[in-house]
Structure 1
């Protein structure tokens, strides 16, 4: 039969340390379990620790401190999990100092060792993602790998921590003080990649080239949202070697969405924009017969020439300054 746990107050109701009187102080031992969860769209990590504390019957004052770690005090949650009896957390307080301490007053129905789960948000643990996309020689598909670097910017050591990432993947790592570690979370073969040529509205002789990555099952993805990260793009040659092509930044890519990864500029697709005709419409003249007001209608011819052997997708950007236009 499980025990009973009650939390009466929280950090919202802090009390002076002196109010604990002569109750014996118990220092919480080292963590036995730790779980670190990184969420998308936030720079904080959610940490859950499990520590065991020995309590006597009656009132107990428990102290917990961290070294050199940025913790949001409003996010701290404490949950004893007694196997029997009753444990009541009556109050929680923060004792300032060079090493801030969390003090909580606990009433226990009988002497026992109690697992305690402590949850908090910290900005001292971080991660960043990096993708490697290796394309086939014909650039129609590739292998997409996702690597992460986990950073411990605190002065605490996290031993055998279970680390959970926004992709749903998890890994067990030990992170020393100030340490960073890298690991590959996944590698997906057979990802279908599109290619797009864009002629910018600013004109010029070159087209901009993008690889298209769609996060859906039809294109070999679509299992999870892809978190943001730098994408390094390579292409295999016929001899099995690889050549670096470019790098671009991928924003968070939800399931079903498409991303454009810039490759550079190219002459493989030529686009020419020519003015065919310019006419004045709705002309109004002054008393001297000079044109005072008139609308100008312009006609352009856009010619696209593909120098590649296969069909390509082309977008031509045209800046429309007048809402009344026809194509």
Structure 2
């Protein structure tokens, strides 16, 4: 008779038999940067996650250094929005200034810039609108390219277009290469679903659409085969890393992709997943162990790296030996 319990007898043997482990180097911490001075303001729907003005950004950078987390992805909230999202590619834009600050503060940081327009447009959609108030895919591509190049000029290491426009990876790769930034990597939000799990983020980034929804460009969460087509398309266009977003409800997409591709896979453990667990912990419904269990499941499914608001907490837990 199979006796699996023999290898679960105590923490020593359980740790020896552990098939999946989290490493701090696999974690990417999202940062929300806002205009203004002396701002460190907790986001109401996301406990322990903050808006930072650039003059207080050093506080979270110091915390990241102390935890051994050196990868971050930046989201900017501008003071001014317009129809074309012009602040997204301004040389003195909020993200561009944040990139320069972080790189000057500690050169060890690997900085990723989210490339999208929803935080910057007055209408909250991820691209240029046509006369029918639909997002014009091909008119949006040059603007996304301008954003990516402006980030590269500021010193970005990687751009991550989250807009879900067709052909955006190819457009950004060509624009970056033409501008001399062949070493700037691209992480595609390749399988980004039209999900309700983004709710807290839209408050944090002030990016909810003023009308309609994003279902014409973000993916239907019923579709798994389509996700694989999107992933393969991004790889063919030149993506260095592909992403599945959200994470927890879409690990089947990650596992299926892992079987067929050799490109690194990132998952985004999104705001709704974070807030859901935090509220359950605060209510006493679950123990904090659920954080490690949830994020480890993403690694077990095949993720090579994880964008998560739990990054600093997990880094401390890993230093303590993780969950035995």
Larger strand percent: 1
Pick the TM interval, shorter chain: under 0.3
Which protein has the larger Cα radius of gyration, Structure 1 or Structure 2?
Answer: 1
Give the structure, 1 or 2, with the largest relative contact order (CA under 8 Å, sep 6 or more): 2
Larger helix percent: 2
TM-score by length of 1: 0.18
